[in-house]
Each structure stands twice: as C-alpha cells, then as structure tokens.
Structure 1
Amino acid sequence: MADRSESTPWTPLSWAAANGWEDCVKMLFKEKGTTQHNHNGRSALSSAAGGGQAIVTMLLFEEPGIQVDKATPLS
C-alpha cells in the first residue's frame, strides 16, 4: 500500500512528509523505509523539507541511510 497509485503520483510516505503527519511518517517509514520517491524523483525527506515541515524533516534526517536528493532544499 505504500507505493504510488494511478490516482496520485505521490507515495503515501512523501504525501505524509510534505504535510507534516509525523505519526503517519513513522508508521510508513517503519514499513517501507525511505527508498521511495514520488513522481518527480523526490524523497520523503525532500518533500518534508520543501513543505516546511521541520519536525518531520528532522525525524527523517536522523534516520540511518537517509537519501538527500541533488535538487532538494537541503542540498
């Protein structure tokens, strides 16, 4: 369920991260990890940072193996 669907180009993890839904991000991260990317190739970390979600950004940034995209607000 944590993959992109035909109805939206966003993964549930990217959507939750961009909207700052901390508990949802924790659950989805635990289930699928941070390797998912949305339709633009952005990671959940990039979506959280780009959406101004400081708490979720820090939550994801502290995870081991986190991927920082080349075109991200963090680069």
Structure 2
Amino acid sequence: MIKKHTIYKKDKWNMMNVEVQGTKIVLTEISDQWGEECHTFIGRPAMMQWAKERFSKESFAGSEEDRQAIMDAFQEI
C-alpha cells in the first residue's frame, strides 16, 4: 500500500510530495528553478536527517513559521 503526503504545494511548479512504500520513502521535489528532483530513503530517520539539512534555519529563505510547517509535515509521515 502506497501512502502519499504533500509537504507543500505553492503552485503546479513548486511542490514536494512524499510516497511511503513499505520501508522505502520516495520524495519528489519539483521547482521552477531546478526541475524535478527525486530522493529515495530507506526508513524515516534517513528522510528526517535529509529534511533537517535541506530546511536548516540558516539556509531557509522563508519565515520561521513556514519552515516549521514544513518540518511538522515531515514529522507526520
């Protein structure tokens, strides 16, 4: 059974979706700058480590509330 989660979706070109396929987690990030990028993680801890690095406080361009909402969405997976 595949469970799909949307981390964020700003428009049809800027979004991040996660599919949980058993122990495998496939994260697809689509942006108007970089195109489509896909990451595969074996287990939730690996995905959370990536998310913490990708959305670090130092490098996140948006507000702290936006960053926290994204991290909360990862926590719910």
- On whether the aligned pair clears a TM of 0.5, the verdict is no
Question: For the pair shown, which has the larger CA radius of gyration, 1 or 2?
Answer: 2
Q: Which has the higher strand share?
A: 2
Q: Which has the higher helix share?
A: 1
